Amino acid sequence: MANPRDQIITLPTPSLRRHSKKVGLVDKSITRIINNMQAALLDWEASREHEVGVALAAIQINQSLRIVIIRNDFNNKEDRTYTIFINPTITKYEGNIEEDFEGCLSVKDIYGKVPRYTKIKVKAQNLNGKEFRVTADGFLARTFQHEIDHTNGVLFVDHIKDNSEAFFKLNDEGNLEQLDDKDIQNHHIFR
């Protein structure tokens, strides 16, 4: 049997560029998709020495639905629990725009220094269809923006494609190294 992480699609897969559909009724098929998302994310994390599975959008396992899962504790790899956000929408951007590093399970081995708002407000639904709201700042705000972008067919590389100095790769020691222009031009995500 294949590893759950094998469900994760990567660039240049065209479906990553699709806008995800709004979820109506949360039924067993939606619950199954969410379970598959969590299994894929945790299996991916288990295969990576220096990285943590922070979040995933349903489109990343080729399910074109507005579903996002976000890890409850980014700093504790032993905490393998996630909060589910169905039909998440950013209702307000606040704070400053700051650059920081982002990676993506659907963009293999590339990291970027991406500008994002430092604080946002999000509304979503839980598994019972009940609407709830979250105010997020710092890394959580960045994570929401990254994942909600996925539901709109946007990836982090789209925000920095005109800035060759914003691209990095992870070395064997777990440190980020800047890519040079030639590496970027030859990378499959830019073809």
Residues serving a catalytic function are 147
Amino acid 120 reads: I
Owner of token pair 């996002």: 68
**Tokens describing residue 84:** 């589910």
CA 68 → CA 57, 110, 113, 126, 147, distances in Å?
A: 4, 21, 22, 11, 7
CA distance 166 to 171: 16
- 49 near 58, Cβ under 8 Å? no
Nearest C-alpha neighbor of 147 from the set 13, 37, 5: 37
Task: Give the single-character DSSP code of 127.
Answer: T
Counting Cβ atoms within 10 Å, is residue 61 exposed (0-12), middle (13-18) or buried (19+)?
buried
